[in-house]
Structure 1
Amino acid sequence: MSGVRDTLQRLRARLGPGPRSFLAWWGQALATWLPARWRVLLGLTGDRLLFQRQDDQIEMTWLEGSQRHMLARLPATVTPDELRAVLGTRLTDLPRWWLVPSGMALRRRLLMPAAAAERLQDVLKFELDRQTPFTANEACFDARVIGVRTDGQLDVELAAVPMAAFAGGLAQLGALADGMAGADVEDADGVPLGVNLLPESARVTAQAPQRGLHRALAAVAVVAIVFAAWAMLDNRRAAADAFAAQVDGRADAARQVAAQRQQLVDLVAGTTVLNQTSARRPTALEVMDDVTRRLPDNTYLEKLAIEGDRLTLIGFSPEASGLVARLQGSSLWRNPALSGALQPDPRTRMDRFTLTAELLGKQDPSAATAGGANAAGRD
């Protein structure tokens, strides 16, 4: 028993002293504008104590918002009275939950109609035997709504534990098992899912002392703050509304003018680019005519493609290696070259070739002159 007492004394020292009086607590709450501890006492937060069996000890953690704080590892023989004595008023009013290990629970993702949100538990009773190996009378189960899809359906996650395994795991908490307000499931990251597998008949609802008085005082404080803010802002509300209406009227006119101007700029820019592109590039008819005149009669084209400034020729020819020289010197393209190796075709007894060239603009005489000079130099 001395080991239990020593562990609880260390936990008391870690938690620190509680408030000495209600007046001291009330003064601190007013000074710090609704601190976290006041919100806990008023039941406005989801803070709770989580208990989980680890080997021969009970691990106790404090879930504060979304953060878990390790408090202590308690002996398995600890009693509720001993725990209450060491926690004091700082954490003793928090609800106590059993954190079910992740490997014990069976989890399933389901799609439910939006109408099932109000009676999710009743719907799950009929879906449980289809989604799990258990019936509603053989398992402890609950679900959480993860989100709402664009089609209105609910994205739901179901968690279920067989009753026998659930009872055995809860019994490992010893004397603390009878004071649980719920049983949540631990995910892979050690964060509670947000479900409660504990049957409603076994849940213990802990009420903080003087919670009614706390709520009344909090309501008075909130009303006072709201009234002060309303009184301070009321004299500016009419002027702000008039100014907002004036700004909205002018903003609408400015947006219309800006939209019309942008449309005009886009139209002029598009027309200019289209005209420049059309004037700069040779037509497809001109390209095909020049290609036809330059290729020998025993050459057959399988494909002629113009993609941007690139000309591609694919076909068969018995003198494919000499086609590059025949395409040199054109005023419509430059740099003709074979793309890849020649491929003999046993059917036609010709070589299959792929030729590429860079198209020149019709208004690019310097490039055309340079291409012709290069062709002459190579000849």
Structure 2
Amino acid sequence: MTAWQDSVRQVQGRIGPGVGHFLRWWRQSLLAWVPARWQWALGWSQARLLLQRDGDHVQVWRDGSAGPERVVRLPWPLAPADLDRVLEPRLRRLPRVWLLPVAQVLRRSLRLPSAAADRLHAVVGYEIDRQTPFEASQVSYDVRALGTAGDGLLQVELVAWPLRQLDTWRSQAGDWADALAGVDAIDEHGHTLQVNLLPPAQRQRRVDPSRRWNLVLAAAALLMLVLAALQLLDNRRDAADALREQVERSARSARGVASERSQLQALIDGAAFLEKQRSQRATTVELWTELTRRLPDGTYLEKLAIENNSLQLIGLSGQASQLVALLQDAPQWRKVNLTGVLQADGASSGRDRFTLTAELQPLPAAAAPAARKEAADADAQPAP
């Protein structure tokens, strides 16, 4: 055995008895709230079927939480099967205990430390040879806990039955020797000592017929509990999947909204940029208006081209050599130049063909709205 296993066994030896004592106390405390009649009706009562021989008869008692109750009185000798025929089914399932007169057993009162409360049977076994004229191997014994004696001591009672008397009793009891779950003693007041003097190897353990059904029902209840837990887990998993799908849909929708917002922001930024660029330069209408105002009579334009910041004018004019001076100081452009040489028109009109270029420039902040208003007013005038 390893040191780890030894430590586990020591812990179990220390904790196990305390847990068992607590469970017994807890069960007894709960049963104390239930009336004795209800305990018997529900099968919760720790009852025993007591048999006491009284001369040529056998008295049968039911020992419950309220004390012994008479059941039936039958003639002796009596076989266990004969008793089963006169008992109701519920009484047949009770463990059967033979009652001895208290004078046939040895009783000794002892005081033991409270630490021995969980191992009373083993501790008292070492006191048998000092408290009785027998050794521990010569008696069958049990221990009664009588309460506390103060100063951390327990008051207990040793109840011993010599094995010689046990063998004599077995020969007299006949078939009952192997049909009993225990042997107890009854005093002169009719109170049982609540001990079991029958050796464990000779005790009959009666199987409760309903125990199998109880186990089946317990297993079914456990199975239903497991299935319910699995169903609950599946429901939670389905709910989590539905929530995850909803979150994915919301995320996709949010990504679509974000994408549309980004596109809208790009359009707004582009429009703002174009508006800014357009606000910095004169519009085409403004350029037309300014050219119309500055070009002299008899001047005709064949082409007006705007590319980036360049303005190109091609046309015919009788004052082509003066056009640079006439257009030079316009706020919409600058650096007006003739490109190439003037070419005389072949007709008798006396006009020359010209090509002018200019560089468009941003309008002053205050002049831009005024120029646009002036151009709008010029457009609004009706044609003559």
TM-score bracket for this pair, using the shorter chain length: 0.3 to 0.5
Q: TM-score, with normalisation over the residues of structure 2?
A: 0.45
Q: Does 1 or 2 have the higher relative contact order (CA < 8 Å, sep 6+)?
A: 1
Q: TM-score, with normalisation over the residues of structure 1?
A: 0.45
Q: From the CA coordinates, give the structure whose radius of gyration is larger.
A: 2
